[in-house]
Amino acid sequence: MEVLKRLLTGNEAVARGAFESGVHFAAAYPGTPSSEILENITMYKEIISEWAPNEKVALESAIGASIAGGRSLAAMKHVGLNVAADPLFTFAYTGVTGGSVIITADEPGQHSAQNEQDNRNYAKAAKLPMFEPADSQDCLDMLKEAYRVSEEYDCPVLFRMTTRVCHSKSLVACGERKGREIVPYERKAEKYVCVPANARKLRVKLEEKLAALKEYSEKCSFNIAEYNNTEIGVISSGSCFFYAKEALGDNASYLKLGFTNPLPTERIKEFCSNVKKIYVLEENDPYIEDFIRKLGFDCIGKECFPKYGEMTTDIVRKVILNERIEEIEYDRSGVVDRPPTLCAGCPHRGFFYELGRRKNVMVSGDIGCYTLGFAKPFNAIDSCVCMGAGFSIGHGAQKVFNKAGSEMKVVSVLGDSTFFHTGINSLITVAYNRSNTVSVILDNRTTAMTGHQENPGSGKNARGEDINAIDLYQLVKAIGIENVKVVNPNDLEEVSDVLDEFIALDEPSVIITRWPCALKKFSQADKSEFTEAFQDKYYVSPEKCIGCRLCMKCGCPALSFDRESKKASIDQIQCLGCDVCAQVCPKNAIERRSVK
């Protein structure tokens, strides 16, 4: 039979691997660089695929699917595993019925995350077997093997990817789906009810499983030694293997580790004994390096290679070969900084324009597009820690301000998907403990930052099926907040009035801004509700413009200012007619132009 080869990203290959492995159930919460895994799994109708409100729920759903006898998968970005850590550690104790794989997509270089944690440490801490693919073919092949390992050794498997593996493309030899029957359900309280009496016995069994997995690691076909020039030996995992190969070619020998917990002690010893100088290439923590040193071998690692950021081919050449890649020289003084900014037509712009003008206000932010509200010209966010923390951090800060007798008021901000993720619990503590913060839910009708995935408030599920959308207003009311208002964030007067009203209150209040993301594909419900959205464009009348530049304070990328003519102008291609700049202009120089 002819093998079908496809050009796939790592994320696409994982989805294909789930299909070929006979996976029955998959759940995830979107987060770069992992989002496309579930998006691609939804294309395989044989797999039940769901967006969960957060990563903990995704993993718990996958655990339930495994207990019921199905093969399951949960996917998330690296910080999402923090949210899912509670069930993760106990799942390692219980083991599985149907095979189960947890995918963590790490982010060396912090392209879109608030930290750079190395989740290989979770495998050690939770005592889980772990695979680390290096390219898209690895993603498919290792995922299939991960399900076999999960069921043979009765354990969930951690599958650690990184940004470059997730998003890089390579040819993948694809196969057919091997249907796997769902295991008939049996009640096993001693296995799945983790009261202390059971858990203590499971803890002993977990060590037995790890000992068996240690033997598996020694013979695992994904731990591969390649001998060339033995003057230099490189030990690596993941994409670092290819960085080394590209830089050194046949001038070095390699130990490519694809199964990295437990690490293969004897294979590493053998390789280290056969080369003269050992280099350990890995991103972030010295996970492999520390292990090699404990085995008694001297090696070159983090004292020469970077402790943070991505490993690249030029870094390998510089450290090992003392070679520097020539770069094109140019006059850097002529390069204009282009920091990230809210898109033209973004519904958060009007809100942050007004919020940034408030004095004596601390703004507790959260994870999402709206985090850009911290930057100029808004300067309207003072903290950002993790998903769902906006409301609870704001709550704690307000309590201390009140105790100190300060007049400082806290406005806490998060998005609709973030609210469903972990913001609901945070708002409950605000209501329960009678905090006088102003909590704001920025409802742009989608999960915008990670690529417009659906959420419980959008009216659709992962498969695009219509669902009963959660009504944010009614949910907030049910939590116990009496002061709730829904506003159009593009109406500056309406935003200003509700901010003034709620900041003056001495009890909990919630503002819900409701307007769709400028890049969102409208559903029929959107078309019915937002009939006037993005129907107009605006232009600057040169005769009326006095060059005051106040319009530039709304931070719209469609706006520009000509220093010679001292006139503002609006790029008609970018403009989506949000009207914020027109409201800011003191001379009514920005006028509407219908595009209906």
Whether residue 170 is predicted with pLDDT greater than 80 in this model: the reply is yes
Q: How confident is the model at residue 594 (pLDDT cuts 50, 70, 90)?
A: confident
Q: What is the pLDDT of residue 234?
A: 98
The answer, yes or no, to whether residue 384 has pLDDT greater than 70, is yes
Element (H, E) at 169: strand 169-174
Percent of all residues in the chain with a pLDDT value above 70, rounded to a whole number: 99
Residue 517 structure tokens = 């993301």
pLDDT tens by residue, 190-238: 999 999 999 999 999 999 999 999 999 999 999 999 999 999 999 999 9
Looking at residue 366, its amino acid is: D
Residues 6 or more apart in contact with residue 298 via CB below 8 angstroms: 278
Q: Are 481 and 440 in contact (CB under 8 A)?
A: no
Helix, strand and coil content of the chain, in percent to the nearest 5, comes to 40, 20, 40
| Spatial distance between the Cα atoms of 379 and 381, rounded to a whole number of angstroms | 6
- The helix/strand/coil state of 323 is coil
pLDDT digits (tens, 9 = 90+) for 519-567: 998 888 888 899 888 889 999 999 999 999 999 999 999 999 999 999 9
262 closest CA partner among 298, 308, 305, 208: 208
User: Can you give the pLDDT at residue 272?
Assistant: 98
Tokens of 496: 């200003």
pLDDT, position 340: 86
Residue-wise pLDDT tens digits, 443-457? 999 999 899 999 999
* AA letter at 484: V
**Measured between alpha carbons, how far is 132 from 435 in angstroms, rounded to an integer?**
45
Closest CA relative to residue 191, chosen from 96, 98, 123: 96
102 — phi, psi (to 5°)? -110, 120
d(CA 545, CA 590): 8
Tell me how far the alpha carbon of residue 89 is from its chain's centroid: 21
Identify the pLDDT of residue 335. 82
Which domains can be identified in the chain, with CATH numbers? 4-219 (3.40.50.970), 223-321 (3.40.50.920), 348-529 (3.40.50.970), 536-594 (3.30.70.20)
pLDDT at res. 2: 64
For the ranges 56-60, 228-232, 258-262, 335-339, the lowest mean pLDDT is seen at 335-339
Segment holding 595, helix H or strand E = none
| Per-position DSSP letters for 330-350, written without gaps between them | --GGGPPP----PPTT-THHH
State the Rg of the chain over Cα. Answer: 27
Q: Is 352 helix (H, G, I), strand (E, B) or coil?
A: helix
> Of 170, 138, 320, nearest to 247 (Cα)?
320
Instruction: Assess contact for 448 and 368: CB atoms under 8 A.
Output: yes
Give φ, ψ of 232 to 5 degrees. Answer: -125, 130
Q: Which helix (H) or strand (E) holds 446?
A: none
- Cα–Cα distance between 297 and 277 in angstroms, integer? 10
pLDDT the model gives residue 1: 54
pLDDT value of residue 596: 62
Cβ atoms within 10 Å of 594's Cβ, excluding its own:
8
SS3 state at 341: coil
| Tens-place pLDDT, residues 95-105 | 999 999 999 99
pTM for the full predicted model: 0.93
Query: Which helix (H) or strand (E) is 117 found in, with range?
Result: none
Residue 12: is it exposed, middle or buried by C-beta count within 10 angstroms (0-12/13-18/19+)?
A: buried
What pLDDT is attached to residue 332? 83
End-to-end CA distance of the chain: 55
Residue 4: pLDDT band (50, 70, 90) is: confident
What pLDDT was estimated at residue 525?
86
Report which DSSP code applies to 357.
T
Sign of CA dihedral 314, 315, 317, 322: positive
Q: Rounded to the nearest 10 degrees, how much is the dihedral formed by the CA atoms of 235, 236, 240, 243?
A: 20
Give the span between the Cα atoms of 516 and 130, in whole angstroms: 40
Both structure tokens of 162: 């990184």
Contact, 237 vs 133, CB < 8 A? no
3-class SS at 27? strand
The mean per-residue pLDDT over the stretch 60-82 comes to 98
**Residues belonging to the chain:** 596
* Averaged pLDDT, 114-119: 95
Q: If you average pLDDT over residues 94-123, what whole number do you get? A: 96
Which residues lie below 8 Å from residue 562, measured CB to CB, with a gap of 6+? Answer: 568, 569
Q: What does DSSP say about strands 409-415 and 100-106: parallel, antiparallel, or unpaired?
A: unpaired
Contact 175, 141 (CB under 8 A): no
Closest listed residue to residue 106, CA positions, set 244, 309, 295: 309
Mean pLDDT of 177-200: 95
What average pLDDT is seen over the chain?
Answer: 95
Mean pLDDT, range 133-157, rounded to an integer:
98
Which of 322, 330, 270, 282 minimizes the C-alpha distance to 306?
A: 282
User: Can you list the alpha helix ranges (DSSP code H) found in 379-482?
Assistant: 389-403, 416-418, 424-432, 472-479
